[in-house]
Structure 1
C-alpha cells in the first residue's frame, strides 16, 4: 500500500509564526512516517513559500525564542483550477508530486482566518481543519461573541473599538466593564497584543499596542472563574475530550506562558470537575463547535464561575500543536495519543473532501 502524501504547511506572516514552527516540528516528530510521506512547505514572514527538506528545515529548533525557518532557494506556488499538479516549483516550473492532503498548521491571520482554506478549496486539495466560513468567524473574536450570544451562550461583556473611529474614554469603559479589564486585538490568537489594564495610562498604552496588530480591538470585562478548555474532534458527529484546566503562574495565560516558559502554567488534565460539570463542558463545547460550523478540530475555552456556569472565552480552530499545547495533551489523556490524533485529523480532512466532491456544480 502506497503512503499518503501529506503537505505540512507552516510558518506564515502572522505574529504567531514561531508558534507554527514549533507545532510543525512536533508534528514531524510524531507522525507515522511508515504511513505518511510528508512534504514540508515553510512560509517565511514575507509570505514566500519554501520547499524544505525533512531535516534542517528549522534554525535553532530547540529554542522557542530563537527558532527560525530555514529559507531555501526552492520557492513554490499554488495554481487553482487544476485537477492535479496544483503546486509548482517556481524555479523549475515543474509540478510537485500530487499531495493527497494539506495539514495547514498555521496560527493566526493569513493561516487560521480562512485565507489559506479558501485557496486550498479553490485548488481542490483536501486540508485539515475547519472550512472557510468557520475559520473566518472564529478568528474574529467580535463576530464569534455575537454569534455565540445570539445562540444562547454566555460571553464576557465587551466593547468593540475600531482604529478609524473615536475611542471611548477610560472612564466610559470602566463604568461599563469595571476594572481591571482586558484589551485584545480582534483577529489575533495566543494572547498576542493582549493586556490587562487597571489605570488610564495602562489603557492608553494597551490600546496603542493592540492596534498595532489589528484594526479592530475588544475591550472585555474580567470574568472571575477557572480557565477550563475542551478539545473537539470530528465532522458531522464531533466528540469532546476530557476538559482540562489552566493554572497560570502569572497574571494571565500570556504568549510566553503558552509557548516559551514550560513552567509558566500548570495544565491540569483532566480538570478536577464533578461528573455533572464535566459533562456540561463537553456538551457546551460540541454545541459551540456546531453553532460556528466547525469541522475537523477546535479547542473551546471557557471561564467557569463558582456555581459551575460557563462563559465562553473563544473557539480556536487551529490550536497550537507544540509539546506543551493543550489540544494534543487533552486528547492524549482522553485516550488518543499524538500520532493517532494526527491520523484522525488527516482522515477527517479527506472524508470531508470526498463529500464535497459529490456536490453538483452545474444545473441539468
Structure 2
C-alpha cells in the first residue's frame, strides 16, 4: 500500500509526534508498504532527510520557530499525500488531533487512520468528553471549567464540588502540557493562569490519588490495561518522555473483574465519544472505584508507547499493530 505518514506540525507536541511518525514509517516499511514522510508544517521529507527530524536534527525545529509553516490548504496539494492510498496520522495535539486535518482529508478524498472530525473534536475537549461520559454512566471525576478571557471561577463551588487538592490543566491539550496539582486555595489562581497559556479553557478537576491505568483499543478489541507508575507522583510531560521516570506494568496487576470492568468502560467510552479505528482511554483506580479521565484519539506510537504495550500483551508486535491500524482504516 502507498502510505503517507503525517507527523510534526506546529502543536506543543511536535517532538512527540515526530518520534511517533518516524517509528510508524520504519514499522510500515518493514511490513512491505511504500511509505512517504510528510511533516504537516513543511511538506514532504525525502527518505535520506528523515534523520534530520530526530531530536537535535535540522528539521526538528520547535513549534515557535516554524514561522513559515505550510498552510493546511497547501498541505492538501503535497504530491506525496495526494498520491497516497492512505494517510497514517502520527500527529499529536493542535490541528492533527482536533479534527481539522481529518476534515481536510475527507474534503480531498484521502482515507486516513483513526477517528473522524467529530469524534476528534469531542475527545480533544475534556469538558465535552466528561459530559458525554457522565451521560453514558462511565464514572468521571467532578470538574468545572474556567474560560477566556477572564478565566473566572467561583472559589466556593470549586471547594464544595471539586475539593482540594485538585488538578488544573488545559481543557484541549495533550501530553500533560500545562498540568498542575493544587493543594491550597491560594495556589489556584496562579495554576489557572499558567494553564491558560495553552488554551482558552482551563479545567479544574478533583484530584484522586490512586493507580493510573490506560486501555488501548483497536477496532472493537480492548487490550489489557497498562498501569502507569510515575516516580515523582504525577504523570506530567517530564515523566512521560524522560527515560526511567516512569514504570509501566502490562498487563496491569488487577483482579480479573477489575480488568474486565476497565476494559468495558473503555469500549463504552470509545463508542459514546464517536471514536473509530484505534484510541487509548485513561483511567484512575481510586479506593476501588474506577474513574475515566480522558480519551486519546492519536496516542503515542513509538514501540515503547502505551498502546503498543497493550497490543504486545496479546501478541501483536509494533509493525503488525501499525499494519492492522492501516488496513482497518482502508476497510
Q: TM-score, normalised by structure 1?
A: 0.83
Deviates more, 1:5-14 or 1:322-331: 322-331
Q: Is the 8 A contact 2:38 2:81 kept in 1?
A: no
Aligned length: 327
Q: Secondary structure at the match of 2:158?
A: helix
2:172 to 166, 171, 187: 187
For structure 2, list consecutive stretches of 5 or more residues without a partner in the other structure: none
Higher relative contact order (CA 8 A, sep 6+): 2
Q: Is the 8 A contact 1:76 1:87 kept in 2?
A: no
Q: Is the 8 A contact 1:258 1:325 kept in 2?
A: no
Q: Paired residue for 1:39?
A: 36
Q: Is the 8 A contact 1:78 1:88 kept in 2?
A: no
Q: Paired residue for 1:54?
A: 47
What's the RMSD between the two structures over aligned residues? 2.6
2:7 to 3, 10, 16: 10
Superposition map of 1:307-322 within 5 A: 307=288, 309-322=289-302
Structure number having the greater helix percentage: 2
Compute the displacement of 1:78 (Å): 5.5
Q: Given the superposition, is the C-alpha separation of residues 264 and 63 from structure 1 closer, same or farther in structure 2, using an over 3 Å criterion? A: farther
Q: Given the superposition, is the C-alpha separation of residues 98 and 268 from structure 1 closer, same or farther in structure 2, using an over 3 Å criterion? A: same
1:215 aligns with 2:200: yes
Q: Which has the larger radius of gyration?
A: 1
Q: In structure 2, what is the Cα distance between the partners aligned to 1:56 and 1:6?
A: 18
Q: Paired residue for 2:317?
A: 337
Q: Is the 8 A contact 2:136 2:272 kept in 1?
A: yes
After superposition, give the CA deviation of every residue in 1:279-324 in whole Å (9 maximum; x if it has no partner). 11111111111111111111011111332x3110011100011243
Q: Is the 8 A contact 2:127 2:171 kept in 1?
A: yes
1:292 to 266, 269, 273: 273
Compute the displacement of 1:68 (Å): 3.8
Q: In structure 2, what is the Cα distance between the partners aligned to 1:180 and 1:166?
A: 19
Q: Paired residue for 1:281?
A: 262
Compute the displacement of 1:201 (Å): 4.5
For structure 1, list consecutive stretches of 5 or more residues without a partner in the other structure: 81-85, 90-94, 352-364
1:100 to 85, 88, 100: 85
